Structure 1
Amino acid sequence: MGVVHHSNYIRWFEEARTDYMEKLGLGYETMEDEGIMSPVLSVDAKYLRMVGFGDTVYVKARIKEYNGIKLTVSYEIISDRTNQVHCKGETKHCFITTKGKPLSLKTASSQFHEMFLKGLQKDKEENE
């Protein structure tokens, strides 16, 4: 069909979220080294326009909600050429130990907790 398969958008969300955390200062690898996992609870994607093969896009990731226990990240997939949004979406996450026990970053890792709070504040200010 000459367009990118819809499942790739979800992969782009994950890559953008991973990159976003690195830019905030602490990545998934560091989180996992501390014994903290962040599984996806849900994914939502609204496909607005098709992305064709060979088109270049970039993904904006932002923290939408964070309370120490759950994290919601929003995304926009944007055409590099036209600057149009092709897809909007979000992922919801929780935090668990390597044994699957739920945890709060407020008590389990103050450095990740503070990082997400700062990211949330920064993203809210940029959207106002």
Structure 2
Amino acid sequence: MRHTYVRRVHFYETDAQGIVHHSNYFRYFEEARGELLRSLGLPYSALRKEGYEVVLLEASCEFKKPLLYDEEVHIEVSLSHMDKFTFSFDYKVSAEGKLRALGHTRHCILKNSKIISLPVKIKERLIRRE
């Protein structure tokens, strides 16, 4: 399962050198992941109405080459792992056809402030897109 999210770098996301500040990559991952879930009929808003919270357990980013102001950025997100309690995504960030960063996040689902097994509805929709 892969989904590509496209956005443009905004000026406020850059530092004094005109390079995207490293913290923004994690925002990009969240945006891409949110759009992937929305495309599967699982927007965060609907999950929250059902009492589920998608919780970030781990996040990493390997920076390859800087992103610059006004570049069109493609963030490819793909499911990389799923077990009874957690699921993970990998991210490839590119601009102008060149790889700029690689990322990874791991998540779980909470209901009533407790970790639960992944709901069947979520598992089925994630697997269906693989």
TM-score, structure 2 as length reference: 0.82
C-alpha separation in 1, matches of 2:22 and 2:77: 18
C-alpha separation in 2, matches of 1:13 and 1:26: 17
- The structure with more strand, counted as a fraction of residues: 2
Aligned residues: CA RMSD? 1.1
Provide runs of 4+ in structure 1 moved above 3 Å: none
Q: Name which of 65, 87, 94 aligns with 1:49.
A: 65
TM-score, structure 1 as length reference: 0.84
Residue correspondences, number? 114
Identity %: 26
Residue in 2 aligned with 1:59? 75
Structure 2: which 5+ runs fail to align?
1-16
C-alpha separation in 2, matches of 1:7 and 1:36: 26
Structure 1: which 5+ runs fail to align?
123-128
Residue in 1 aligned with 2:30? 14
Amino acid paired to 2:76: K
- The structure with more helix, counted as a fraction of residues: 1
Amino acid paired to 1:101: K
Which structure would you say has the larger RCO, counting Cα contacts within 8 Å and 6 or more residues apart? Answer: 2
1:78-118 Cα deviation digits (max 9, x unpaired): 10xx2111010010001111x3111012xxx3221211222
C-alpha separation in 2, matches of 1:68 and 1:83: 36
Residue in 2 aligned with 1:103? 116
